Structure 1
């Protein structure tokens, strides 16, 4: 019979055993993670002395590592012969957990923070500890609260990595372009987006009569006729990629959305260099779609909603309208635009509708709710057209990133006050058609210029001359729109009804060129996406004078964290190693600290 003392000892022994097992498991995980930080050693002496060498991992090495590595249910296995399971063929819609901003929706603390406008006075200076500041402001920053790193140090660490990443990825992409497949009709597999309708496959016919079979069934990933996999940038997730990359299969990506999408990952070469072909808003991409928000040149010159200058002056008096119109529902974005509007309002009136900096209510019929549909209605157009000026500010700053925020004011005849792409002047209808914020040393000078135009009708109307015959003089803009193959609103004069169908045919034509090259016995050239196909700089914020020059600690954190996460992902993916989301987070943190220690 067990006495009380024996029971007590038995319980104590069980507790101690459990603690030992938990600690042992944790230590084992740490050792495995640290092991992954180093390249596989060629011999014991190298490992003992801390020296490592790159080596080509063969199948035997991979099998050993796979058995040792983190065998969790969501682990990626990247063997050339790995079959797909039913689970991996299903869409994985989970976000990566390192930057789970969406996971905090509903969190009262986070929602309160995210809804507050950024203040230029409360933000730290560029020299203040980035992570220390971030840990105080957003719950997700707590991962790095012990990393006492200045912004400048962080930048130096990133720069030191770039060449290492570049050297490593070139061979990987080169292999992906060498193959012997010559199917009569290549298959193009849309990985995470499909414009042909659910469950519908299409045979498309492109230039010179070449054909391709467009599919969306992931079970065809390893089909011998599958020559290309097309990805959609906004839906790019580490845990939702093909488990292995066949050498002969080309990867393409189309990404027309904001640089802040996909956790800033596409701003870094480690991700872009996964792909051979790109279609982005950057003019340097293989299939540029910079003007995809602009329906046509005639859209800019339309006078359908144009209000005379005399009537605009009258509306200012009779309806108490401000000179400037502003409306946005996406607040606190990387471009820091709401802060600029706050600064501008110190010197000139701005009617701010929508959720951001709101000081004027929309008519009930234009209330947004969960839809942006009212912004395309006739009633909304007529309201916005009454204003002499419209703030056209993008949510992110990047070369050639241009949305409807610019084109709509031109269509309505309200002079845009523009901020976004540093190269925006390349796409303006004429030299004098918009007021560019970057042309002014400070916000007060811009406000003074707007007041001048508001008081002088003749000077103001010079900014509307592009609507007259011969007034739109930018030949680069005209050529960019007229030469594109796809339409915005199903224009029957264009070969393709959308930019997605246009990109499909571009990839189809490239695959047939590859087939011809292979048949001729020649080796396919190296084709890899470059950083300038999409990469955008770290977000900044406005100074108290309205200069966009200071590093923004909050969004720069996300940008730089994307860099380290991308590097961690490539470490596993390039070596065909097992990885989980937790592995990516742990290795990213280690890479960051490693390079900062060297800085």
Structure 2
């Protein structure tokens, strides 16, 4: 009988895990505590923690900008390159971020900014499929143009959902001006003129259901900073509504096509914008051109904006400019620092944020006065041009009549002079004789 033994199987080695320390909470919440980063295709994982007892083990220290209380970790560890101090925010810059005295303390940036962040997390998920930005862009309209026209009996052409009542760029001032020329249905917490709708069974509408009934939606960011584009553009895209945009100067990486939205900056005044919206409201064919990409059967590679596809249409497994992609990049950096393979530049700092245009609409309330002055200036210019033209015409007439008068006087003088004497006087001057004969013939006419 063969002898059998019970072999003891050795446990497989677990992938190594690297701690990453959050120095602050996230708006007072501990959402990042215990988060495991293991979906990056890496042979190791990372774990976020708020436990400062793990400071020595952690190579990366993260501070959330809106929650930062200026209680710094050991800065000697940062200056020596033993640790990286990373500033995280998806909000527009805090006051201290505009001052290099503070930002020069941080070595890396995790934010929405494609231009300045080391780890980019935009407000939208990359790739294709459920929950991605491209899914929202390509989503079919919630209602047909005929249904939207029917809704117009009770609704304005434009909707706006707003909760931040003191936006730093003063966007509410612009909307106040716009309301003088066109109706806007406003929901939320500020400037509200519409009650939040409910279904017959008492259920409140979802935000997308509110927006979907309109032709246009005000996608106005609360700050004007490079790459700061939030759900305000995804909301109308997802239900087939044309967004009216205001945010960064360059929207190219977020636009479905070059004719899928309307920009506030394309109009000198809110009155001009209102006039254009009212035109489109009455012209179904012109309006639907803004949404034709949603009805096309053309492959998205040749249909959508190339910059959008370059940013968000990434192969599966690629780290995109979203939450997962940023965390994967941070995890790799934690591994490389711990294993001594990261090339750390101890002089690297994120610097002050100079990408924003603050208080953009603060003076929009003076728009009426500006328009009045521009109109007055226009009519003054017209009056001056007309006056100059009249002066020129009068001068020509006076000159012409003066010339005729001089000729007539010369003829009269010549007629009073004896002919023999005249001929004798002019006989040796052929040019003057010709002039005399010409004047005489004109006088006879």
TM-score (norm 2): 0.66
Q: How does 1:272-283 map to 2 (within 5 A)?
A: 272-283=103-114
| Deviation for aligned residue 1:196 | 8.8
Q: Secondary structure at the match of 1:335?
A: coil
Q: How does 1:141-540 map to 2 (within 5 A)?
A: 186-193=18-25, 200=34, 202=36, 204=38, 206=40, 208-212=42-46, 214-221=48-55, 223=56, 225-238=57-70, 240-242=71-73, 244-246=75-77, 247=80, 248-259=82-93, 262=94, 264-284=95-115, 285-292=117-124, 295-303=132-140, 305-317=141-153, 320-363=154-197, 379-468=206-295, 469-470=297-298, 472-483=303-314, 499-514=322-337, 524=345, 526-531=347-352, 535-540=355-360
| Deviation for aligned residue 1:217 | 0.8
Paired position in structure 2 for 1:553? none
Q: Note closer, same or farther for the CA distance 1:456–1:430 as it changes in structure 2 (3 Å cut).
A: same
- Counterparts of 1:310 and 1:430, CA distance in 2: 24
| Deviation for aligned residue 1:257 | 1.9
- Counterparts of 1:441 and 1:497, CA distance in 2: 37
Q: Secondary structure at the match of 2:66?
A: helix
- Counterparts of 1:500 and 1:385, CA distance in 2: 27
- Counterparts of 2:59 and 2:187, CA distance in 1: 49
Q: Secondary structure at the match of 1:209?
A: coil
What CA deviation, in whole Å up to 9, does each residue of 1:320-359 have, x standing for no partner? 2111112212212112111111101111111122232222
What CA deviation, in whole Å up to 9, does each residue of 1:471-494 have, x standing for no partner? 74212112212339xxxxxxxx56
- Counterparts of 1:237 and 1:465, CA distance in 2: 49
Unaligned runs of 5+ in 2: 1-15, 126-130, 371-445
- Counterparts of 1:207 and 1:382, CA distance in 2: 38
Q: Secondary structure at the match of 1:226?
A: coil
What is the RMSD computed on CA atoms of the aligned residues? Answer: 3.4
- Counterparts of 2:337 and 2:60, CA distance in 1: 11
- Contact 1:229–1:249 under 8 Å retained in 2: yes
Q: Note closer, same or farther for the CA distance 1:203–1:365 as it changes in structure 2 (3 Å cut).
A: closer
- Contact 2:219–2:232 under 8 Å retained in 1: yes
Q: Note closer, same or farther for the CA distance 1:300–1:204 as it changes in structure 2 (3 Å cut).
A: closer
- Contact 1:267–1:537 under 8 Å retained in 2: no
| Deviation for aligned residue 1:415 | 0.8
Unaligned runs of 5+ in 1: 1-183, 367-373, 485-492, 550-599
- Counterparts of 1:387 and 1:322, CA distance in 2: 7
Paired position in structure 2 for 1:569? none
Q: Secondary structure at the match of 1:311?
A: helix
- Contact 1:322–1:350 under 8 Å retained in 2: yes
- Counterparts of 1:416 and 1:431, CA distance in 2: 12
| Deviation for aligned residue 1:299 | 1.6
- Counterparts of 2:158 and 2:22, CA distance in 1: 43
Q: Secondary structure at the match of 2:190?
A: coil
- Counterparts of 2:37 and 2:178, CA distance in 1: 54
Number of aligned positions between the proteins: 336
Larger radius of gyration: 2
Q: Secondary structure at the match of 2:195?
A: coil
- Counterparts of 1:200 and 1:498, CA distance in 2: 22
| Deviation for aligned residue 1:525 | 6.1
